[in-house]
Amino acid sequence: MHVVVKVFTFFLISYFSSHIYHFYLPMRSLLLLFLLLPFATVLAQHNVYHTPLRKIIPSGQLPEGVETMHSNNNLDLAFYNGRYYLAFRTAPTHFASAKAHIYLVSSTDMNTWRLEQDICLKADLREPRFLEMNGNLHLYFFEGGTKMLKFEPRYVWLSIPDSTGTWNINKVEGLDGFVPWRLREHNGIAYLSAYYGKGLYQASHQGNLRLFTSVNGRDWAPLHTRAQVTTPGAEEGEFEFDKDGNLWATVRLEGIGAYIAYASKDSLHAWQLFPTKKKYDSACMFKHGDDIYLLSRRNLDGDFSKLPKWIPYKFSQKFNLVRYSVTAKVTALFKLNPITKEMDHIMDFPSTGDNAYPAVVQISEDKYMMLNYSSDFTDGQKNWIRGQLGRTNIYLTEIIFN
C-alpha cells in the first residue's frame, strides 16, 4: 500500500511540477528516483511466483485401494527412476488415531497413480520422509500411540522395495521415542534430524534434538555424544547445507518460538542458536542457486510468544499453545538472510485452517514442484483448531523463479 501511495503522490507532484515548476528538471528527476526506488526494491526481492493450486487428494484419480479420510496431511515427495513417489497420511482428524494409514503411491505425470504400499499398524502414523541413497529409495515414518490428544512416539520404521518392487517395512533400531524430521545425503553420508518426542508438551521435557548419520540408510548413529539442541520443547529440526558445506537450520520450540541455527562444515555437531519469537512449524528447506529458502506455517497473529520474559516458562508455554490454536495460519515462503540470521518473508500461498507440511522437488533450473496440505481455502478463513478437526486436502503448485 505504501508503494501505491508514493507512486500516486509522484504523479500528482509530477503533473503540477510540469505546469508550474517545469524549469526544475533536475529536481524532478531526483524525485522520480526517490519515489520509485522502493517499488523497484519490491520487484527485485519478489522474483518468485507460483502457479494456481490444484487439489490432488482426495480425487477420482487415486488408484483402487486408496481410501482417504477427512484429514489428509503429513506428506513427502520424491522423484526416483523416472517416477514421482508420494507418501501421505490419512486419518479421521489431524490428531492421533489407530485408524491412520500412510499410503505410498507413484506416478509419471502427477495425474495417474499406482498404489505401491498401504501401511496401517493400528496406531497413529506420521512424518513420512524419503531418502535416496546408494541407488535406493527409502521411506521412513514413525509409529505413535492411539490416544487422540496424546503425542506418543514409539518406533521409527523404514520401508524399502525388494528386487521385485514390493515394499517391506522394518523397525529402525536405536531410535525408539524419536521423531524423524528431515533426511539429506551430503558428501556420501546420510544425515537424519530427529528429536525425542516423549513428554514434548510437558514443562519438564528435556530437549534432545540431534543429528544421526548413516552410510547405508539402515543403521544410524548419533553424530556426536551430545545433542545439538537441548532446549525444552525443541522439535522439527529442519536443515540444509549451503554452497560451502555449512549447515543452516530452523528449530521449532513448542512454547516460546524458534531458533535459526548455524554450524560450520568443520563442526556440524556444534549448532549456534539464534532465538526468534517467530514459529516455523512444519519447516521444509530447499536451495535455489546459492540461496536457501524455507517453506513453513506462518501465524497471521504475529509472534508466537507475546508474553514478557519474566513470566514462568510453565505458564507461558501453556498460554502460548492455547492462543496459537485459535489464531489463523497460512503456508508461506521465506528466504534465509545469513547476515541477520533471520528468515525474510517472501509470499504466502492460498491456505487456511490446518495447513503446512510442504514437500518440494526440483523439476527444472528455476522451477520447483510443491505439494502441501490445507483446509479448503475457497470456503473462507478458519483458525487452526477448527481446521484440525475438519477436512484437509493435498494441493499441488509450481514455484517459479524469474
Output the domain CATH number for residue 85. 2.120.10.10
Q: Domain check: are 280 and 174 in the same one?
A: yes
Which segments of 337-392 does DSSP mark as H helices, in order? 384-388
Q: Domain check: are 117 and 257 in the same one?
A: yes
Look-up: residue for cell 517545469? 22
Q: Which residue in 281, 398, 292, 370 sits closest to 86, CA to CA? A: 370
DSSP 353: S
Output the CA torsion sign for 379, 381, 383, 384.
Answer: positive
pLDDT band at 23 (very low <50, low <70, confident <90, very high): very low
Q: Domain check: are 117 and 14 in the same one?
A: no
Q: Domain check: are 35 and 65 in the same one?
A: no
Contact 121, 143 (CB under 8 A): yes
pLDDT digits (tens, 9 = 90+) for 346-387: 999 999 999 999 999 999 999 999 999 999 999 999 999 999
Query: What is the structure's pLDDT at 203?
Result: 74
Q: Domain check: are 64 and 207 in the same one?
A: yes
Q: Domain check: are 32 and 124 in the same one?
A: no
Q: Which residue in 282, 280, 288, 289 sits closest to 261, CA to CA? A: 280
Q: Domain check: are 223 and 336 in the same one?
A: yes
Mean pLDDT of 209-235: 97
Q: Domain check: are 179 and 32 in the same one?
A: no
Q: Domain check: are 15 and 75 in the same one?
A: no
Domain count of the fold of the chain? 2
> Residue 38 belongs to what domain range?
2-42
Q: Which residue in 251, 149, 275 sits closest to 201, CA to CA? A: 149
- Is the confidence at residue 16, as pLDDT, over 60? no
Q: Domain check: are 267 and 355 in the same one?
A: yes
Q: What grid cell was written down for 241?
A: 547445507
Q: Domain check: are 80 and 168 in the same one?
A: yes
Q: Domain check: are 63 and 30 in the same one?
A: no
